[in-house]
Chains A and B, each alone.
Chain A
Amino acid sequence: MHGNFEHPFIKFNRTMIAQKSFKIIVVFALALIPLFSFSQEEGSIIKEKAEKFNATDMIMHHIGDSHGWHFFGSGENSFTIPLPVILFTDNGMVSFMSSEFHHDTEGEYIVEKDGMQFVNYHEKIYRLDEGAASLNFDEDHNAVNASKPWDFSITKNVAAMFLTVILMLLFFFSLARYHKKNTAAPSGFNNAMEALVLFVRDEIAIPQIGEKKYMKFMPFLLTVFFFIWITNILGLLPGAANVTGNIAVTVSLGLFTLALIIVNGNREFWKHTFWMPGIPTFVKPILAIVEVMGLIIKPLALMIRLFANITAGHIIILSLLGLIFILESAGVAGISVPFALFITVLELLVAFLQAFIFTILSALFIGMAVAEHEHH
């Protein structure tokens, strides 16, 4: 949409992947043999329970959010970290641990709190109406005897987000602490982090926003870059959450960019948005509509790009592994696991790339909003 897919960085990546992909596949295939068997085990349990393996359900379950952090196993035998469920109902706030649902996501296990009954149906919490014994749906799949309370639970994605925050605070407070004591350049991990900070400053902020004004936006750009990058990488770990592949997260991030554009846009930016100079008057209102749409589409494109790229990567990996269970043959693993590994390695690059693209486009949009236009 913005022509950034021709960025030299991507080209470089493509060549690199082409040259090294074979080696990477072989090395990772050998390194991940233990996981291989783990996948099969998980699959067999799923099959036992569901009789027939449903790939869509499996994938949607993995890329979606949930109230507990599930690692392996199923039903009462699954290993799941319970997370707090926080609900706002008409009768006030209710909170309990997700473990009280006993791993049930089919709306069967009823939790009673403060005289209210709650069920977890496909990771959505419903409050059963007075006297209802079980959750019922009509043809349009709307609950007929239950209501949805405001759900502000610490879900798996929120917990994963906290993990990213903790890692970022650890990494960068350590770097900041180093700088308080030393004047020389840091070494090791601190140095790597500092190099990335400088990358954001020198390759993203200064070229897009300009030497004069970039400093004001550095906290946002650095935070958004490292937040997306670290979250993306954590999302690739087995059992991890798909945070940046969740539309709610990217909507929030995109709105931050939009807010910065709106708050920091200068007089000329708004003039060019609503009353473009240098064109016939009757065209101006039409162009204003286009410009306002553009203003909204810019962050919308950001949020969709990040969400779609990360989710797509996860879906591809899960689909390739799902092939094993669809075809009900362990032999397929010989093909689908190396492919899934190849995609995983590709996702490592995508993790960085999407963080880079989100940050550079945010910087570009902000730069456009604060630019001092030359008068024609």
Chain B
Amino acid sequence: MDLITPEIGLFFWQTIVFLVLIILMAKFAWKPILGAVKTREDSINDALASAENAKKEMQNLKADNEKLLQEARIERDALLREAREIKDKMIADAGAEAQEKANHIVAQAQTTIQNEKNAAMADIKNQVASLSIEIAEKVVREELSNKDKQRKLVEVMLDDVTLN
């Protein structure tokens, strides 16, 4: 029966000691420990949340960068296209102008050649005419140098007239 009969002395000491222990531990151990743990948990949660935020911001930033890059790329392409067009146009324009100029030069040259040719032809004609007249003079002079021949010529001519 001793085993299950509580001793008043031990009960007294247990109660006093335990009560004092609870008060001491609550004030000097549990409060600072639980407080520190709570603070740490809060700071960990905050850190996790801010890391999450930073990640989101990073993603936004990345998306923005991507967008900017895309825009830049599009602009670059546009610029390149424009430049190419200008280049092509310039080349085409230059080609056309050169053609025109060449045509003009050719035409001028042709005119000049024609003129030169005409002048040469006129000159040749004049020379041929004067030569012909000289020849004809000489021939006529020769032909009319004797009477027979003169007569004969007249006759030939008359024949021709008759024939006509």
Contact = CB atoms under 8 A, between A and B. Distances in A.
Given A169-B24, A172-B25, A247 B5 contact: yes
A74 to B, nearest CB: 21
Contacts of A175: 29, 33
B24 to A, nearest CB: 7
B40 interface: yes
Interface in A56-76: 60, 63-65
Contact of A152 (B13, B18, B30): B13
A274 interface: no
A96 to B, nearest CB: 15
A64 B17 contact: no
Contacts of A151: 7-9
Q: Using C-beta atoms within 8 Å of the partner chain, give the interface range for chain A.
A: 35 or more
A222 interface: yes
A218 B30 contact: yes
A252 B11 contact: yes
Given A194-B37, A197-B33, A219-B30, A256 B9 contact: no
A13 to B, nearest CB: 27
B39 interface: yes
Contact of A248 (B7, B21, B25, B26): B7
Interface in B1-55: 2-15, 17-18, 21-22, 24-26, 28-37, 39-40, 43
Interface in A161-200: 161-162, 165, 168-169, 172-173, 175-176, 179-180, 183-185, 194, 197-198
A153 interface: yes
A168 B21 contact: yes
Given A175-B29, A183-B43, A311-B3, A219 B22 contact: yes
A147 to B, nearest CB: 15
Contact of B14 (A122, A169, A253): A253
B13 A168 contact: no
Contact of A180 (B7, B25, B32): B32
A79 interface: no
A301 to B, nearest CB: 15
B46 to A, nearest CB: 13
A213 B26 CA distance: 16
A201 interface: yes
A186 to B, nearest CB: 9
A249 to B, nearest CB: 5
Contacts of B7: 65, 151, 155, 246, 248
Contact of A256 (B8, B18, B26, B33): B18
B45 to A, nearest CB: 14
B34 A197 contact: yes
Nearest to A85: B9
Contact of B13 (A161, A223, A251): A161
A165 B17 contact: yes
A366 interface: no
Given A180-B32, A251-B11, A253-B14, A165 B21 contact: yes
The 9 closest A-B pairs by CB, nearest first: A219-B26, A179-B36, A172-B29, A248-B6, A248-B10, A252-B14, A248-B11, A176-B32, A158-B13
Given A155-B9, A176-B29, 13 more contacts: A60-B3, A150-B9, A151-B9, A152-B8, A152-B12, A153-B9, A179-B32, A179-B37, A198-B37, A247-B3, A248-B6, A252-B11, A255-B15
Interface of B: 2-15, 17-18, 21-22, 24-26, 28-37, 39-40, 43
